[in-house]
Amino acid sequence: MGIKIAIVDPAGERRKKQLVQFLPYVLSGIFFIILPFMLPPFYQVIISKAFALAIFAMSLDLLVGYTGLFSLGHAVFFGAGGYTVAMLMLHGGTTSFWIGAPLGIIIAALLAVISGVLVVRFSGLYFLLLTFALGELLFGFAWRVKWFQTPGVEACIGIPKPNLGIPWFTWTSTSFYFFCFISFVLSFFLLKRIVNSHFGNALTGIRENEVRMRTLGYNVWLYKYVAYIIGGAFAGLGGVLFAYVMGFTVPELFGLQYSFMGQLMIILGGVGTIFGPVIGTLIIVFLELVISLIAPVRWPLILGSIFVVIIMFFRGGLAPHLVRVWKKRFY
């Protein structure tokens, strides 16, 4: 009787595993590169809006999914980024991307630096309530103070596409789509790098057992504080892009509506995955578009029903289930 000997190639198995891990990103990238050439301008704008909201949702996932900080005021940083470019246009007369975008990110990060000194000292329900109060405070501020509004409306309207400083360049819906897509891809891989680093592992440890991490010598408050600032900066970038896409800013960008929407996106997609919030964002934006055309009055009811179905049948969000299906198929 012959004896068969199985030869294991560790290097080959490792390469196969890496290919299986990165193939979804490659396929998704190819899909989104081809997509705008098959869509009319209106739908290109909708997907561009989704990219901006996805950056916001991923930044929130850094806090909720990796650090365990459930926030109802994360939209504060989203609104700060959007209102920065709006105020530069309204009062400064500048639409330069190289001024507006960095300044929007910096102001959102500074707002996180200032507010984080207080709110990060708390956790659980107290952190939730403090962030909610911060969001409502800035919402009321933007609603009442005329300096934040275009004369005659309680918003800032007429925000043009950013000026890149290239004389011959003019924006089209397709070129702006790729502008938002590149910003999204860079944000995605930066956040992915952060959560897979030693810093990200420490955040996960804090989420799982804060007392033990403190016992091991980690400065838990500092780690949470830095995560809060990073999340605020990325949310600011999302707000900057959102203002450019929509062409206006409203006080609701600071309020509970967008903070709750961010929570919904990461829960639908999958908390603590980074790519899960992207899936959740695409679902929300697509459903909002379809339902607004069919039954706009029923939008909250239909969205709530879908949310309940996903919670019942896809515990943990859609992303973990997709990962399991992918691994079962290719591993």
Residue type (1 letter), 275:
F
Residue at token pair 């300044």: 103
Residues 60 and 280: beta-carbon distance below 8 Å: no
pTM assigned to the model: 0.91
pLDDT at residue 1, rounded to an integer: 46
Token reading at 111: 């707002």
pLDDT at residue 236, rounded to an integer: 96
pLDDT at residue 270, rounded to an integer: 86
pLDDT at residue 241, rounded to an integer: 96
Q: Cα-atom radius of gyration of the chain, to the nearest Å? A: 21
Number of residues written out for the chain: 331
DSSP 315: T
Mark out the alpha helices in the chain (DSSP H runs).
10-34, 41-64, 75-91, 97-119, 124-144, 173-195, 198-208, 210-215, 220-246, 256-269, 275-294, 299-313, 318-330
Rounded-to-integer distance, Cα 116 and Cα 111, Å: 8
Q: Is 172 helix (H, G, I), strand (E, B) or coil?
A: coil
pLDDT at residue 294, rounded to an integer: 76
Averaged pLDDT in 10-residue chunks for the chain of 331 residues: 52 65 85 93 94 96 91 93 94 90 96 93 88 92 89 88 88 94 96 93 91 90 95 96 94 90 88 89 87 71 74 75 72 61
pLDDT at residue 309, rounded to an integer: 76
